[in-house]
């Protein structure tokens, strides 16, 4: 396995693979995944965009992650901003790296891929804070939750519902640098 830094063009070149990994990891329907293609491609043009990918020996995508500087006018940023109290907004969103996606194919999970991807992304993020959202789950049984807690993420919002998704999400954050 090898971890690689990706530019936006690299992610777009492997967009089919990225969407496949995303779908496997999140359990989303094919219809939903098709709508996400445009969003993911558009994210590559955001300020401070950075991405990582983990490939196996045959160049198959095992996992990926990316994020960028959050700012007003971006859908996720605005949803979270509107849900936070004023002081929390100022602290968490003033200079924030939004970790938009971090996924590993289910068969490859448990091998440290997500941790390496997360470490690389956060080590290189030139921001004061990082935020992410993840579906609510029992922390003891969720690999994602255990990973985020191990990296020092704390609760910012819990049981938050984003428009268009019935599942409750948690918004987690931590101060940077690592």
What is residue 31's predicted lDDT score, i.e. its pLDDT?
Answer: 83
Residues 66-123 pLDDT 10s? 999 999 999 999 999 999 999 999 999 999 999 999 999 999 999 999 999 999 999 9
What is residue 170's predicted lDDT score, i.e. its pLDDT?
Answer: 97
Question: Three-state secondary structure along the chain?
Answer: CEEEEECHHHHHHCHHHHHHHHHHHHCCCHHHHHHHHHHHHHHCCCCCCEEEEEECCCCCEEEEEEEEECCCCCHHHHHHHHHCCHHHHHHHHCCEEEEEEEEECHHHCCCCHHHHHHHHHHHCCCCCEEEEEEECCCCCCCHHHHHHHHCCCEEEEEEECCCCCCCCEEEEEEECCC
Q: Which two tokens stand for residue 159?
A: 């049981």
Say if residue 130's pLDDT is above 90.
yes
Name the active-site residue from 22, 66, 68, 148: 148
177 Cβ contact partners less than 8 Å away, ≥ 6 residues apart: 122, 123, 125
Average pLDDT over residues 168-177: 97
Expressed as residue numbers, the domain containing 98 is 2-175
Q: Bigger pLDDT: 142 or 88?
A: 88
CATH code, 22: 3.40.630.30
Please state whether the predicted TM-score (pTM) of the whole model is above 0.85.
Answer: yes
Average pLDDT across the chain, whole number: 95
Say if residue 141's pLDDT is above 80.
no
**63, 54 Cβ separation under 8 angstroms:** yes
Q: Bigger pLDDT: 14 or 30?
A: 14
Question: What percent of the chain is predicted at pLDDT more than 70?
Answer: 99
What is residue 19's predicted lDDT score, i.e. its pLDDT?
Answer: 96
* Domain count across the chain: 1
Residues 4-25 pLDDT 10s? 999 999 999 999 999 999 999 9
68 Cβ contact partners less than 8 Å away, ≥ 6 residues apart: 43, 46, 47, 48, 49, 50, 97, 98, 100
23 Cβ contact partners less than 8 Å away, ≥ 6 residues apart: 30, 33
Sole residue written with tokens 């090898």:
2
Residues 119-128 pLDDT 10s? 999 998 999 9
Active site residue 28: no
């Amino acid at each position: 396995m090898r971890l690689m830094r990706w530019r936006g063009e690299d992610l777009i070149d492997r967009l089919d693979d990225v969407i496949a990994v995303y779908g496997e990891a999140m359990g989303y329907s094919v219809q939903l995944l098709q709508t996400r293609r445009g969003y993911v491609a558009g994210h590559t043009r955001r300020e401070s965009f950075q991405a990582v990918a983990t490939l196996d020996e045959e160049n198959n995508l095992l996992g990926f992650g990316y994020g960028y500087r959050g700012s007003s006018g971006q859908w996720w940023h605005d949803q979270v901003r509107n849900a936070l109290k004023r002081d929390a907004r100022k602290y968490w969103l003033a200079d924030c790296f939004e970790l938009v996606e971090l996924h590993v194919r289910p068969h490859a999970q448990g091998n440290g891929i997500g941790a390496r991807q997360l470490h690389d992304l956060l080590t290189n993020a030139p921001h004061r804070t990082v935020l992410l959202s993840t579906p609510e789950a029992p922390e003891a049984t969720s690999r994602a939750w255990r990973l985020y807690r191990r990296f020092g993420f704390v609760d910012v919002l819990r049981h938050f519902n984003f428009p268009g998704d019935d599942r409750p999400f948690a918004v987690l954050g931590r101060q940077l640098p690592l």
